[in-house]
Structure 1
Amino acid sequence: FLSGIDYKTTTILLDGRRVKLELWDTSGQGRFCTIFRSYSRGAQGILLVYDITNRWSFDGIDRWIKEIDEHAPGVPRILVGNRLHLAFKRQVPTEQARAYAEKNCMTFFEVSPLCNFNVIESFTELSRIVLMRHGMEKIWRPNRVFSLQDLCCRAIVSCTPVHLIDKLPLPVTIKSHLKSFSMANGMNAVMMHGRSYSLASSGGGSSSKGNSLKRSKSIRPPQSPPQNCSRNNCKIS
Structure 2
Amino acid sequence: QGILLVYDITNRWSFDGIDRWIKEIDEHAPGVPRILVGNRLHLAFKRQVPTEQARAYAEKNCMTFFEVSPLCNFNVIESFTELSRIVLMRHGMEKIWRPNRVFSLQDLCCRAIVSCTPVHLIDKLPLPVTIKSHLKSFSMANGMNAVMMHGRSYSLASSGGGGSSKGNSLKRSKSIRPPQSPPQNCSRNNCKIS
TM-score, normalised to structure 2's length? 0.50
Q: Is the 8 A contact 1:193 1:221 kept in 2?
A: no
Q: Aligned partners of 2:129 and 2:44: how far apart in 1?
A: 61
> Which moves more between the two structures, 50-59 or 201-210?
201-210
TM-superposed deviation, 1:174 = 47
Q: 1:115-145 CA distances to partner (integer Å, 9 max, x unpaired)?
A: 0000000000000000000011697799999
Runs of 4+ in 1 over 4 A off after TM superposition: 137-237
CA distance in 2, matches of 1:115, 1:235: 19
- Would you say the 8 A contact 1:50–1:82 is kept in 2? yes
- Whether the 8 Å contact between 2:40 and 2:69 is mirrored in structure 1 is yes
Deviation at 1:181, TM superposition (A): 52
Given candidates 8, 18, 21, the residue that maps to 1:64 is 21
CA deviation after TM superposition for structure 1 residue 55, in Å:
0.2
Is 1:138 paired with 2:95? yes
Moved more, 164-173 or 55-64: 164-173
Distance 1:109 1:142 in 2: 19
User: Percent identity of the aligned residues?
Assistant: 99
Contact 1:157 1:178 in 2 (8 A): no
Aligned counterpart in structure 1 of residue 32 of structure 2, from 75, 98, 115: 75
Distance 1:224 1:146, change over 3 A: closer
Compared CA separation, residues 66 and 202, structure 1 to 2 (3 A): farther
Larger displacement relative to structure 2 (151-160 or 121-130): 151-160
47-56 or 136-145, which moves further after superposition? 136-145
Structure 1 pair 62/135, CA: closer, same or farther in 2 (3 Å)?
same
Whole-angstrom distance in 1 between the partners of 2:190 and 2:11: 87
How far 1:185 moved relative to its partner?
A: 63
Q: Which runs of 5+ in 2 are unaligned?
A: none
Q: Provide structure 1 residue ranges, at least 5 long, that are not aligned to the other structure.
A: 1-43
Please list the CA deviations of residues 16-67 of structure 1 after superposition, one character each: whole Å capped at 9, or x if unmatched. xxxxxxxxxxxxxxxxxxxxxxxxxxxx100000000000000000000000
**Maintained 8 Å contact 1:83/1:113:** yes
Whether contact under 8 Å (1:162, 1:188) holds in the other structure is: no
Structure 1, 47-56 or 188-197: larger mean CA deviation: 188-197
Higher relative contact order (CA 8 A, sep 6+): 2
Residue matched to 1:18: none
Q: Which of these residues, 114, 117, 133, is aligned with residue 71 of structure 2?
A: 114
The one of 176, 188, 205 equivalent to 2:162 is: 205
Do 2:4 and 2:34's aligned partners in 1 also have CA atoms closer than 8 Å? yes
C-alpha change, 1:209 and 1:108, in structure 2 (3 Å) is closer
Q: Return 197-206 or 73-82, whichever deviates more.
A: 197-206
**Once the two structures are superposed, what CA deviation does each residue of 1:46-105 show, in whole Å capped at 9, x if it has no partner?**
000000000000000000000000000000000000000000000000000000000000
1:153/1:178 contact within 8 Å kept: no
Aligned residues of 1:193 and 1:220 also touching (Cα < 8 A): no
Q: Against the structure 1 CA distance between its residues 85 and 168, is the aligned structure 2 distance closer, same or farther, given a 3 Å change threshold?
A: closer
Task: Evaluate the alpha carbon distance shift between residue 185 and residue 103 of structure 1 in structure 2; reply closer, same or farther with a 3 A threshold.
Answer: same
Structure showing the higher helix proportion among its residues = 1
Residues 7 and 39, structure 2, Cα contact 8 Å, conserved in 1? yes
Instruction: Kindly name which structure, 1 or 2, has the bigger radius of gyration based on alpha carbons.
Output: 1
